[in-house]
Structure 1
Amino acid sequence: MELFYPGCSYLKATSLRGFIERYGSSYPEDVFTEQSEVDIFYEPTAYYKLMETENPLLFFTKIRKFRDFNLVTNTLGSRRRMAFAIGTEEENLYQQWDEVISNDAEPKVIEGHSPVKETLQTGDGLDLFGLPAPAHFSMDGEIKGFMRYITGGLAVARDPLNPETVNLSFTRIQIIGKDRYAFDMGSHGHLWNYVYNARKESKPMPLTILIGPHPVFYMLAASFIENEYSHASYLADFRYTPGEFNDIPIPADTEIAIEAEVMLNENFSEGPFSEFTGYMSSRSTGNVARVKSIMRKRNPIFYDIAASNSHEHVGLFSIPRNASIIRGIKQYLPPSGGYQIDWPFSSSHMVALCNVRNPEPGLSKQLGLAIIGLDALFTKIVFISEGGQKVPSLEEALLSLAGSEIIEGHNLLLIPEVFTIKLDPSSSKEGTNGKAVFLFHNSVTSFEREILENAVRITSDSKSVVFSHEENDACRVNVLVDHDIDLDNTDAVMWAIATRTRPDKDIRLNKGRLVINARSKTRLIVPELPPEIVERIKKRLNSASSIKK
């Protein structure tokens, strides 16, 4: 099957550069190309942060001290770009992705020349520092002083207990030597289990890192499945080439590949790092790998994923997974409900906004519980509109609650001590958190916003919601946030609700009023960029050398 790209004829697009070229031809306004020289220390991140609202794909043609390389970031930072990567339109993204992960085809392994092997480093020629891996934020890697991270590297491994199974996993990679890197493999995922079993069985653990395969491989790696190569081969005519040292096939059009082996008895104090929650985190498995080879195309494109709660970082851990969650809901809940579900990027995938078009008694509650159950690691607050025609915004959800009589157990469910991801800043040391489901009828057609002293009031008819730093009694719904949160920025308020609220303790009813205390209870560190870097890029963006294609 060949990919179809809107506005183009049927094309084979099995490489990252093919995707960028074709997407740029179809949506030139959504690709920003910087032709001035860019430094890998903080500058790519500064470009992203300064252009976050516009959210384009960012392509850098000149990298200081790395003249053979280009660099791309925010490649999959929007639903439209994800949809384009799998040959569909944005409105069909979940349906098409469900088809991809539900079907497979035999991967084709080819012998002989392949583009990824145009340059090969081994032995004394190995040099990970020769890759333009950026330093993203000021505090990244400060424990040991190695600041440069490969964020766009996909770890490919065989299951030590079932070698026919090949898995793609995300892992952040800290370069600590010419032939050594430290990495965090997360907790209890496929790669974690593979390394655990290899250590337990005293088996070697080869690992190959892909930097810049076609974007579909990133979406597959984020889907929490195995044998991703087979699903990719269902979608398009991808070809694979054998490894040089590892018995792990590599997509032949990958920009860069690193063959390595996990040092099962070595550890390194990797981190801290700016995580998808939007905060610095020192949590890490601290594993180490020894590099055997670095292979790459001629003039390769280095694939970077902007760190912290960037659109691509959050989106990759949301959208491919969401397709599986929605499939489960369609499979097990009555189909007549007409379910609509969205996880806003600003919530770091911890808040779901939903609508049930045709609610039967108890069905909306069941939907909320199903989302929490199917998305056990992430979603902790679910807002559900009953009988509406669209997914509500955060303002519409809160205003609808302001017009309702809120009764715990009826239209507010609070569940204490539920399993969650430990990276959630409001989780307990044991890895639990409260979870909440809100139910309401969305009667809001429009609303007004009023900036007050130390508060923002949102009104619709007689209903009012207040965002404030201190408790405000002059409203039915009050969201409390810290002073670092811009009260007039709904995305920032959503981020605070998502990451700083422990629902069973911080959501309370007080004389008919709903109070959501989204103020931090622990010390949280938000990643920062050097101010002089930000100012430099601001000036550059206004200069004639910056070209938006």
Structure 2
Amino acid sequence: MSKDLRSFLKDLERQMPEDIVRVKREIDPKFEITAIQQHLENQDKFPLLIFEKVKNLKGELSPFKVVTNMFATRQKCAVAMDLSCDQWRMETSFQFAKRSQNLIKPVIVSREEAPVKEVVKVGDEVDLRELPVLTHHEMDGYPYLVDAVIAPDPDTGVYNSSHHRMLIRGKDELGLWMSPRHLWNYCVRAAKKGEALPIAHVLGHHPGFYLGSEALVSMETDEYEVIGGVLNEPLRLVPSEAFGEKLLVPADAEIVVEGEVIPNFRDAEGPFGEFTGYYGPQRWSPVVKVKAITYRKDAYYMNILVGHPDTSILGGIPKEAGIYEEVKKSVPGVKAVHFPISGCCRFHAYISIDKKVDGEGKVAAIASLPYHDELKHVIVVDSDIDPFNEKEVLWAVATRVQASEDVDIIKKVRGGSLDPSSTIHAVGDKMLIDATKPVSRPYAERIKVPQEVMDRIKLDEWIQEV
């Protein structure tokens, strides 16, 4: 049986049954679902949520259940990578790195074999308003689709899969925002030829599909093969309704929206609450004409809550493994890399190393920067510091750093296009903090209780309730 959203839910039910919460009351997708998520987040709770009675954009009860918070904890991502839920630190990142580098070619199946073809709507039947599309935050201008968008390279046919926001402009029209990366490049090249670019928005699949879509690979790499590697099995594809074999879509998806990017035409898009926790401004962005919607009869509508851990962790895990490998080339003693939620899992990186000589901390920090342009602040710590424990990282900064010696700033280099602190678009500064102890001179010892006594004194033998 091929992996899909349903197989993941079964795996999660086996390992973390308490982490699945079903909401049976009728609910509106405009702010009400995200209000529940925000209430839970305020209590530091991030269960996977399944809303069973959700209105669509017409105000009618939708046949689709909404599932969200799939990536809101690393434990769930560990399960998605076929690990135990307690293997959520570097084990998950290493598993992703290993699998994403093991490319597996997809297989094409017939329409009869594809669950996503159980219901097909084309032409006048297409109506995006029948979907339970969420409006997430107060100033969001429209309801938005926020899952993975796939498209073939207009010249080579190689597939890209990446996450983009798409606003609902009407029954068969979407607005698309893209950072200047692969999909943007596809659209530019297609537009120069005066051609529309066929794309599809994949609303629901196994979480490995979306983790694979976050892999930082070259434009020549087929990301369907990357996703297959992350899933550890060939991704099943099926010809699209609107474009046939010119656009192959995931056969085991829950819902697929097929369309084409209209060449050389733009309209207002935004604002939208972005991964930074701030609103991205309104921009002139490409418009997508929707040609078909296909889905399972009992489909789940998957939503990723942008600007919260659900999207932060999804983007962070793939980057940790990649930066680990880059740093290892220069600093073999690297132990772990963590992108913390406090930095949106994009802007901050904590790197622990087994330091052998002075200067290695700065080398590790410098080596990490080219891998991802959104990375702004790198803190390098010794191997006695757990980079997944932010309290320890900041303690190391407080007690092992002198700013004049251990902090370096690189000004005005390429940065993220959505960084709200940038004064020049997609240009910013990088700060490197070497919070490691010196090797060439003595340094104060950390305090500790003798380990022999810690092993001998069993807390439950002395205190029954804490």
* Fold equivalence (TM over 0.5): yes
Question: Given residue 406 of structure 1, which amino acid in structure 2 is its aligned partner?
Answer: Q
The aligned counterpart of 1:240 is 237
Question: 1:444 Cα deviation (Å)?
Answer: 6.0
Give TM-score, length-normalised by structure 1: 0.73
Going from structure 1 to structure 2, the CA distance change for 1:402 and 1:16 (only over 3 Å counts) comes to closer
Secondary structure (helix, strand or coil) at the match of 2:33 reads helix
The aligned counterpart of 1:17 is 6
Question: CA RMSD of the aligned region, Å?
Answer: 2.0
Relative to structure 2, which stretch is displaced further, 286-295 or 231-240?
Answer: 231-240
The aligned counterpart of 2:94 is 95
Match of 1:345 among 316, 341, 345: 341
Secondary structure (helix, strand or coil) at the match of 1:326 reads helix
Query: Does the 8 Å contact 2:361/2:436 carry over to 1?
Result: no
Secondary structure (helix, strand or coil) at the match of 1:48 reads helix
> How do residues 348-359 of structure 1 correspond to structure 2 at under 5 angstroms?
348=344, 349-359=346-356
Secondary structure (helix, strand or coil) at the match of 2:367 reads helix
The aligned counterpart of 2:411 is 416
Match of 1:185 among 178, 184, 187: 178
1:160 is the counterpart of 2:160: no
Question: Given residue 374 of structure 1, which amino acid in structure 2 is its aligned partner?
Answer: Y
Going from structure 1 to structure 2, the CA distance change for 1:387 and 1:231 (only over 3 Å counts) comes to closer
CA distance in 2, matches of 1:405, 1:374: 25
Secondary structure (helix, strand or coil) at the match of 1:68 reads coil
The aligned counterpart of 1:55 is 46
Aligned pair count? 422
Secondary structure (helix, strand or coil) at the match of 2:408 reads strand
Query: Does the 8 Å contact 2:121/2:294 carry over to 1?
Result: yes
CA distance in 1, matches of 2:388, 2:38: 27
Question: 1:398 Cα deviation (Å)?
Answer: 4.0
Question: Given residue 197 of structure 2, which amino acid in structure 1 is its aligned partner?
Answer: M
Question: 1:217 Cα deviation (Å)?
Answer: 1.2
1:434 is the counterpart of 2:429: yes
Question: Given residue 16 of structure 1, which amino acid in structure 2 is its aligned partner?
Answer: L
Give CA deviations for 1:166-200 in whole Å, capped at 9, x if unaligned: 111211010011111111022x2110000000011
Match of 2:358 among 337, 361, 385: 361
Question: Given residue 192 of structure 1, which amino acid in structure 2 is its aligned partner?
Answer: W
Question: 1:372 Cα deviation (Å)?
Answer: 2.0
Match of 1:218 among 210, 215, 218: 210
Give CA deviations for 1:479-513 in whole Å, capped at 9, x if unaligned: xxxxxxxxxxxxxxxxxxxxxxxxxxxxxxxxxxx
CA distance in 1, matches of 2:47, 2:447: 31
Going from structure 1 to structure 2, the CA distance change for 1:151 and 1:112 (only over 3 Å counts) comes to closer
The aligned counterpart of 1:172 is 165
Question: 1:118 Cα deviation (Å)?
Answer: 0.9
> How do residues 481-492 of structure 1 correspond to structure 2 at under 5 angstroms?
none
Secondary structure (helix, strand or coil) at the match of 2:196 reads coil
Question: 1:373 Cα deviation (Å)?
Answer: 2.4
Question: Given residue 324 of structure 1, which amino acid in structure 2 is its aligned partner?
Answer: G
Going from structure 1 to structure 2, the CA distance change for 1:445 and 1:232 (only over 3 Å counts) comes to farther
The aligned counterpart of 1:496 is none
CA distance in 2, matches of 1:380, 1:112: 46
Going from structure 1 to structure 2, the CA distance change for 1:17 and 1:416 (only over 3 Å counts) comes to same
CA distance in 1, matches of 2:293, 2:110: 19
Q: What percentage of residue pairs aligned between the two structures are identical? A: 29
1:205 is the counterpart of 2:197: yes
CA distance in 1, matches of 2:357, 2:73: 34
CA distance in 1, matches of 2:154, 2:132: 32
Give TM-score, length-normalised by structure 2: 0.86
Question: Given residue 345 of structure 1, which amino acid in structure 2 is its aligned partner?
Answer: I
The aligned counterpart of 1:120 is 120
The aligned counterpart of 2:136 is 136
CA distance in 1, matches of 2:80, 2:74: 10
Going from structure 1 to structure 2, the CA distance change for 1:20 and 1:220 (only over 3 Å counts) comes to same
Question: Given residue 79 of structure 2, which amino acid in structure 1 is its aligned partner?
Answer: F
Secondary structure (helix, strand or coil) at the match of 1:426 reads coil
CA distance in 2, matches of 1:445, 1:320: 35
CA distance in 2, matches of 1:83, 1:77: 12
Going from structure 1 to structure 2, the CA distance change for 1:286 and 1:413 (only over 3 Å counts) comes to same
Secondary structure (helix, strand or coil) at the match of 2:34 reads helix
CA distance in 2, matches of 1:103, 1:285: 38
The aligned counterpart of 1:507 is none
Going from structure 1 to structure 2, the CA distance change for 1:224 and 1:358 (only over 3 Å counts) comes to closer
Give CA deviations for 1:263-301 in whole Å, capped at 9, x if unaligned: 112212110000111011115451101111111110210
Question: Given residue 139 of structure 2, which amino acid in structure 1 is its aligned partner?
Answer: M
Query: Does the 8 Å contact 1:351/1:380 carry over to 2?
Result: yes
Secondary structure (helix, strand or coil) at the match of 1:295 reads strand
Question: 1:433 Cα deviation (Å)?
Answer: 1.8
Question: Given residue 382 of structure 1, which amino acid in structure 2 is its aligned partner?
Answer: V
Question: Given residue 11 of structure 2, which amino acid in structure 1 is its aligned partner?
Answer: R
Query: Does the 8 Å contact 2:262/2:287 carry over to 1?
Result: yes
Query: Does the 8 Å contact 2:111/2:117 carry over to 1?
Result: no
Query: Does the 8 Å contact 1:329/1:370 carry over to 2?
Result: yes
Going from structure 1 to structure 2, the CA distance change for 1:297 and 1:403 (only over 3 Å counts) comes to closer
The aligned counterpart of 2:461 is none
Secondary structure (helix, strand or coil) at the match of 1:261 reads strand
Going from structure 1 to structure 2, the CA distance change for 1:41 and 1:333 (only over 3 Å counts) comes to same
Unpaired stretches in structure 1, ≥5 consecutive residues: 1-11, 142-146, 447-549
Match of 1:227 among 213, 217, 222: 222
Query: Does the 8 Å contact 2:195/2:263 carry over to 1?
Result: no
Question: Given residue 34 of structure 1, which amino acid in structure 2 is its aligned partner?
Answer: V
